[in-house]
Structure 1
Amino acid sequence: MAGRKRNSAEEIVRKLRRADELTAAGKTQEEIAGELEVSAATLYNWRRSYGGMDTDAAKELKDLREQNTRLKRLLADAELEKDALREVGEGKILSPAAKRRAVDMLVETTNISKRLACRAVGLARSTYARTPIAQTPADPDAALRADLRTYAREHPMHGFRRAWAHLRYDCGRSVNKKKVHRLWKEEGLQVRIRHPRKRAGISSIPQIDADAPKVVWAMDFQFDSTIDGKAIKIASMIDEHTRLSVLNIVERSITAERLTTELGKAFALWGGPPLVLRMDNGPEFISHVLQQFCGDRIGISYIPPGTPWNNGHIESFNNRLRKECLNRNHWTSLLEARVVIEDFKDDHNNRHRHSSLGYRTPAEYAARCTHNHQAVDGCEID
């Protein structure tokens, strides 16, 4: 008597998706179970374990999730109130103006009374209610404030030091630098200049065209999410000449160490590494881990930052993956995403016909391709 067949989790996910298609076609559960070569009880257990739910169960799960979300929000609000009271109770707020802002913050965010907020901050209610002299016509620094605002409008990128130097040396006004700094902050004239971190990787070889198989492999990431909102990160890589998809990583997060491990497996599977890896300036790609992994045996070609068109082959592949797979599915689990995306890439290699390849599949073209790489001047790869 033959032993009972045990299906892997991937096979179960595929059969459940097929069962959904047959259900939409009007087949009964018995007919579906017969076509899938399983019993109706097994199909029921699979649906219960791998996300198949009836309408009542789905509604109940939705209600529980909404209640859980409300409880989490209430808990977060309570923790925010505790943190705010703990912060103002540590004595870090010194000036009356800062204490007024703290009282306003507590009243707006925690909905407590002004009396309780003033007590927590340590500010008298009469002081809180009194209008600051800087906001009245009797302000002795009104003229200086006006001059600073005028200077800031004319020189929006200057700081308080250059404003003080202008007053001191150009206008001949004897004014303390610390006072200018204080008024500058009170008027909100600070300008925070952001210096973005430059993450341009240094290529080990010049730009090169993929004139033969295993010359240039292009790599990139894209993102999706499961129905619970958790992120999915997808790493893809193709041979620019044959269009073969040679890498498939679907995880919540992909580190540089995981990337190099999977690259090693891909090189072993496809008969060795390519001559060049082409990629953008993502943090995983410019890491020392990948640089050490490639060493002197694999060239690295980075595209200029902000120019995805220079990596057009992998961008085109990712566009097809997005439109034909990711946008057409709702992932109930990471496992389902792995299975379906792997099937899509296998379909791309063996069944998708490219006009640029003479309407052959990448696998067919790679099997018949006889092109050899021609070295160019200035390129160390031969």
Structure 2
Amino acid sequence: MPRKSFTPEQIINHLREAEILISQGTSLAVVLKKIGVSNCTYYRWRQEYGGMKVEQAKRLKALEQENARLKKLVADITLDNAILKEAAPGKLLSPHKRRQVITKIQDKLKVSQRRACQVLGQARATQRRDKEPPDEEKRLVADVTALATKFGRYGYRRITALLRERGWRVNHKRVERIWRMEGLKVPQKQPKRGRLWLNDGSCIRLRPEHKDHVWSYDFVSARTSDGRAFRMLNIIDEYTRECLAILVKRRITSEDVIDQLFNLFILRGIPEHLRSDNGPEFTARSIRKWLADIGIKTLFIEPGSPWENGYIESFNGKLRDELLNREIFTTLFEAEVLIADWRRQYNQVRPHSSLGYLPPAPEAIMAAKTT
């Protein structure tokens, strides 16, 4: 059985999953069986990637790729100098002379025709061109027209591939020239029809029944006084209406969403469902797979239907009305401090109408949790 390999991003996600399961009381043996690794591999991963974030692993991988690229660049420059040294005697004033020199360089230095042509400024089409009979162009035009008629949805690149299968030695540029000359084109595609929803525009939405049953998360955008935009990732518990976290950054990626959820899962536990819109940060394959591995069900609202995510939309409206539209943020740090203070007041002080005008997490309850 071949050995299964893991990328650094997958290893970090597996370690996070293991930490969450262990924090809930799951034994190490069960955790290792779930993530599919041995005890030795698990501790080796912890030694190499413990405490590392996905962004740090990507940065390390990028540095390795940059180092390999620089090495290849040095090798390419050395090879180019050798090619120019071999072609130095005599002037290459005509394509015919360049063709002869390139053939000589290919045999002596064992380089590809592409590299030799690129260094000496010779077009590969000129290097490979052979004279054709005068009537061959007419037969090629007829074949191109016949194929375009038969395969109406094919463009000139696919027609080129079909011509090569028939024995023609042509490239796509020549076929494109004939294509334009004959006025050929691919018809416009018919627009797709969307699948209809319920006639009254309604939908069936899972309603929260208890604490940590359904969480919602969404993005809100604002700007600092210098005009630069920043984003906020808001996460709430739909049943208690408590704001669990607000992440403030200039740019928030799917990895940032995973990091924020990971911290909340460690501190509060895992919810049964996560509701969101269809934004790329929420529908990313890495997030959906990670949540599925942990055992969290995702709920995506219908595109263009924000009312299906009413709890978080209501929270976003309160945040914008009570803070964002009233404050001028000179720096991102100032925005983080003010938004964190507003979140504390929203959870512990601000009366909520749907809770009988009580705050979602009163100060007395929060103080009892900390003692």
**What TM-score do the two structures reach when normalised by structure 2?**
0.44
Q: TM-score, normalised by structure 1?
A: 0.43
Q: Which of the pair has the greater relative contact order for Cα pairs under 8 Å at 6+ separation?
A: 1
